[in-house]
Structure 1
C-alpha cells in the first residue's frame, strides 16, 4: 500500500498525516481547495501531489480514487453545528465511501470523533452514521476516533490571544486530548499495517486533563496569569444545541477508557500537554497574543 489520498490535507490532522506519510516513503495526493495557499505549497515542497477540489464535487475525484491504494478521510470542520450540518456531513461522508468502493479503493482510514456512538443518541445522522456505513459497505478500513485537539486552544474562541481561557467544557470533568501530529503518526502506522488494524475502531488520546489543570499548565509555561471563564450551559444552547448536548453528555457520562495497551504496542507514547506546550504550544500561543495585540492597536 503506497498510494494514499488524503482529504482535508491543509488542516491540522490532514497535514500531519500527509507529512508523516511522505516521511515514510508513501506516494501522497493531497486534496485542497486552494493549491496556492502557504499550507498547500508546504506540502508540495515536501513531495505531495496537490489536487485542487473539494468533497462536495465527488465525481471530479473519481480519476484519483481509481488510482490509489488507501484513503485517509477527514471531513471539513463545522464550528457551529446543527441538525442540518450534521446531516450534510453524514451524507457527504457516505457518498465518498460509496464512490471509494466503486473505484476499488483497498483501504480506508476514517477520522471520526471520540464518543461518536454516544453522540448518536442526540445526533442520529452524524459521524457514527459514516462509521456504520463503512462497516456495512464491505470496504476494508479502520475508524480512528481522536480526542479533543490540543491545537484547538489556538482557536479565537478559547480567548488565549487576549489572555483568557474560555472553557465551554464541564469544569469538573477530566477529558483526553491529542496532538494532531500523533494522529498523523498513528494513521501512517495503520497504513503500514492494514491487516493488523482492519475492522478496528480506535480511540486516540493522551492523558486526561481537567480545565483548571490546563489553565495551570498554560500559566506556568507562558509565565503569566490567565483569566478563566466558564461558559454557562444556557449560552451554549443559544450558540449550538448539538454542542450543548455534547457538553451535557460529557458531564454526565464522560468518555469511555482509552485502550492504551493497543496504542502502546505501536507507539511508545502519545504527546502529553506538557510536551505539546514545550514543542509548539507556548510559541504559537505567544504569537497569537502578539497578533491579537497588534490588531487591537490598529
Structure 2
C-alpha cells in the first residue's frame, strides 16, 4: 500500500520543521516546498526518512502546481512578514484553489485569530501578522467540505520566542524582567514541539477535524505569569512590568527599523498597502491589551486541547523545565523572524 503524501508549505520554517518531522516519522511521504534546499533546516529535514523537496516559491503558480502534483494532504503556512496583507490574501486563496485542482483530500490552513469584525475593523488593531491569515481563514470558512476537506489551525506567539522577541531583560540587580506593553491583558503561547501532533491528529481524524477552527495554546500569560514560571522553573529572580509601546521598541534590538515596510513579493517598497514594523506591532500589542484572562479578543479552549492532545505542554513552567530554559540565551531566528513562518 502506498503511503499518503503530505505537502508542507513553510516546511523549513519554525512551524514547519516539527510538522515534517512528525509526519515523516509516522509513515507519511512528506514533500516540502522551499526556495533553498541548502538552508540549515532543509539539510536537517533531508536526513529524515520519506522527505523530499520541491524547489519553488509560494508566489509562483507553476511551482505550486508542480509541488501539489499527487498530494493527498497539505499544510500551508505563509510568511506574513515577507508577503504583507494584500499578497497573503491573494496567495492564500490561490494556493487553496490549486490544491482543489490537484485533488488534495484535506487542506490545513495555518492561521491566527480573526477578531476583525469584533473591533469593527478598527485600524488601530491592524497587524500584518494577523490580517492576511485571518481574511483567508474567513474565506475558507465559508466553503463546504467538498470537493476538499479543510481545517483551520490557529497559532499564537511561540514559547520559543522567550529566547528572542519576548526574552526577559536582566537588571543590574540580577532580576529578570518580562517587559511588555500589555496593560492588564495577556496572550496565549504556542509550543512548536506540539505542532506536529496536532497536524497528524487533524489528518487522522477527519470526522472531527473537517471544518474545525482549532486554536492552539499552552496557557494565557501575562508578564507576571511569565516571571512566576521562570522563578519556579529555574530559581532565578524575576518580575513582570507593563511598559509603553515606545519603550518596548527601545528595549528590543532586532531586525529592521521601525520604518521598514513589511512585504511584498509582487509590489514595490512604496506600495501604500504595506505596513511598517511600528504600525504592525502597534496593532499586535493592542489586541493583547484587549485579551484578559482568556476573554476578549484572543481566546482558547484548553479543555478541548487537553482532549485532543493529552500529553501537550500545559504551562510555561513545564516547558522551561523540559528545555532547561536559559533566560540569557538569544536565538537570532526568533528575534528576526518573530511571527509564523
1:247 is aligned, of 285, 288, 292, to 285
1:158 is aligned, of 140, 155, 166, to 166
Indicate the RMSD between aligned Cα atoms, in angstroms: 3.0
* Partner residue in 2 for 1:3: 5
2:229 is aligned, of 217, 223, 243, to 217
* Partner residue in 1 for 2:86: 87
* Partner residue in 2 for 1:114: 113
CA distance in 2: counterparts of 1:87 and 1:133, whole angstroms: 14
Kept in 1: contact 2:290–2:297 (CA 8 A): no
Q: Relative to 1, partners in 2 of residues 1:55 and 1:167: Cα closer, same or farther, differing over 3 Å?
A: farther
Q: Relative to 1, partners in 2 of residues 1:208 and 1:158: Cα closer, same or farther, differing over 3 Å?
A: closer
SS of 2:312's equivalent in the other structure is coil
Q: Relative to 1, partners in 2 of residues 1:39 and 1:160: Cα closer, same or farther, differing over 3 Å?
A: farther
SS of 2:215's equivalent in the other structure is strand
CA distance in 1: counterparts of 2:199 and 2:223, whole angstroms: 28
* Partner residue in 1 for 2:40: 38
Q: C-alpha offsets along residues 54-74 of structure 1, whole Å, 9 cap, x if unaligned?
A: 212232121221210011011
Q: C-alpha offsets along residues 206-232 of structure 1, whole Å, 9 cap, x if unaligned?
A: 222211221233355455456866542
CA distance in 1: counterparts of 2:54 and 2:202, whole angstroms: 23
Q: Does 1:134 align with 2:140?
A: yes
Give runs of aligned pairs for residues 26-65 of structure 1, distance below 5 A.
26-47=28-49, 48-65=51-68
* Partner residue in 2 for 1:198: 210
Q: Relative to 1, partners in 2 of residues 1:234 and 1:204: Cα closer, same or farther, differing over 3 Å?
A: same
Q: Relative to 1, partners in 2 of residues 1:115 and 1:218: Cα closer, same or farther, differing over 3 Å?
A: farther
CA distance in 2: counterparts of 1:40 and 1:255, whole angstroms: 36
* Partner residue in 2 for 1:295: none
Q: How many residues align?
A: 283
Kept in 2: contact 1:205–1:270 (CA 8 A): no
Structure 2 unaligned blocks of 5 or more: 250-257, 259-276, 332-341
Kept in 2: contact 1:146–1:205 (CA 8 A): yes
CA distance in 1: counterparts of 2:232 and 2:135, whole angstroms: 41
Q: C-alpha offsets along residues 136-184 of structure 1, whole Å, 9 cap, x if unaligned?
A: 45542100111321012222x4355877656444142232212011122
TM-score (norm 2): 0.72
2:309 is aligned, of 257, 267, 289, to 267
Kept in 2: contact 1:32–1:50 (CA 8 A): yes
Give runs of aligned pairs for residues 65-84 of structure 1, distance below 5 A.
65-78=68-81
SS of 1:94's equivalent in the other structure is helix
* Partner residue in 2 for 1:279: 322
TM-score (norm 1): 0.82
Q: Does 1:186 align with 2:186?
A: no
1:208 is aligned, of 220, 228, 231, to 220
CA distance in 2: counterparts of 1:243 and 1:119, whole angstroms: 17
Q: Relative to 1, partners in 2 of residues 1:162 and 1:103: Cα closer, same or farther, differing over 3 Å?
A: farther
CA distance in 1: counterparts of 2:156 and 2:300, whole angstroms: 10
Q: C-alpha offsets along residues 104-144 of structure 1, whole Å, 9 cap, x if unaligned?
A: 22211111013455578244952122112323455421001
